[in-house]
Amino acid sequence: MRDGLAAITFDFGNTLVPFPAAPMAVVVRLTATRAVQVVGCSAEEFIEAWSQERQRQLAEEVPQGREADMDVRVVRVLARLRGMAAPAPGSSWDDAGAATRSEPDEVQAILETYAGAFVAATPVPPGIEPMLERLSAAYRLGLISNWPLAIAVDRFLETAGWRRYLRSVVISQRVGVIKPRPGIFEIAATELGVASGPSILHVGDDPGADVVGAQQVGWRAAWVRLKPEDSTLPVAPPAPDVRPDLTVDSVLDLESALAALATSSGK
């Protein structure tokens, strides 16, 4: 497994950082307090519209391999709260029309509030930074994340002190494609400066997105088996026949698992 390994990429949510339901609900509620000031709605009205539009985006965009971009969601939610009817089931949003119900600075204010709340409400897991520091001495490290607001992840990485160890940070909202689509992995390989193939190991918690996605471009894949049972993060469709190259309970077990493989192979 370690033979010829040049780079390791990590998934973000529920791999490097666990995301149980409660902190994510706090982030949305804190975002709602800003929307109350912008629109004059109640927090509950914003949260209900946010939840419904999130589910609509996931149903429409994910099967097409696209991210449920949060900037699009905010525009739609503000349009609803200002009297524009949501589309009927089976119909699509008139996004151009929805955009006339808000100003760009209003949308940006809500996105900035979300990003700030995200960083404030998401604890930095202990042990990750030392692991990244050690691994970065031997491998080129990167992050590949399906996430609807890139600035939230960017700011978390900077606050946590992890960004310095990552040569590549590829986030679906920024590149327009989600795992398991090959494109997002190929972008990461280019940024890492490593030929796409078995010299790259991707580590993630979602078999259908992380393991399937990595292996279909010829990478090796490690599956992180344990994550919060109540997490609301979306996952790819089940992949019952998937066979990860390595399985660990926690990402913090990765180093010892790689060392054990090296010992068993006589390296």
* Domains, the chain, with CATH or none: 7-19+125-264 (3.40.50.1000), 22-120 (no CATH)
Q: 124, 159 in Cβ contact below 8 A?
A: yes
Q: What percent of the chain has a predicted confidence (pLDDT) above 70?
A: 97
Question: Is pLDDT at 30 greater than 50 in this prediction?
Answer: yes
Which two tokens mark 102?
A: 């808000």
**What is the average per-residue pLDDT within 230-251?**
94
CA distance 187 to 207: 20
48: burial class by Cβ within 10 Å (0-12, 13-18, 19+)? Answer: middle
Structure tokens at 68: 């449920």
For residues 22-38, average pLDDT = 95
* Sign (positive or negative) of CA dihedral 215, 173, 20, 256: positive
- Can you give the pLDDT at residue 1? 46
H or E segment at 91?
none
- For residue 244, give both structure tokens: 């990860």
CA distance 64 to 1: 33
* The pLDDT of residue 80 is above 50: yes
Q: What does pTM read for this prediction?
A: 0.95
pLDDT in tens, 248-267: 999 999 999 999 887 665 55
Does the pLDDT of residue 103 top 70, yes or no? yes
- Mean pLDDT within 203-215: 98
Tracing tokens 């009927």 back to the chain, one arrives at 88
Q: Please answer whether residues 128 and 160 qualify as being in contact, where contact means their C-beta atoms are separated by less than 8 angstroms.
A: yes
Residue 236 has pLDDT above 70, yes or no: yes
Mean pLDDT of 47-67: 96
pLDDT of residue 261: 81
The two three-digit tokens of residue 128, written as one number: 């990750």
**Mean pLDDT, the chain, integer:** 95
Instruction: Report H helices in the chain.
Output: 21-39, 43-61, 70-81, 95-99, 104-121, 128-136, 150-160, 172-175, 182-192, 212-216, 254-264
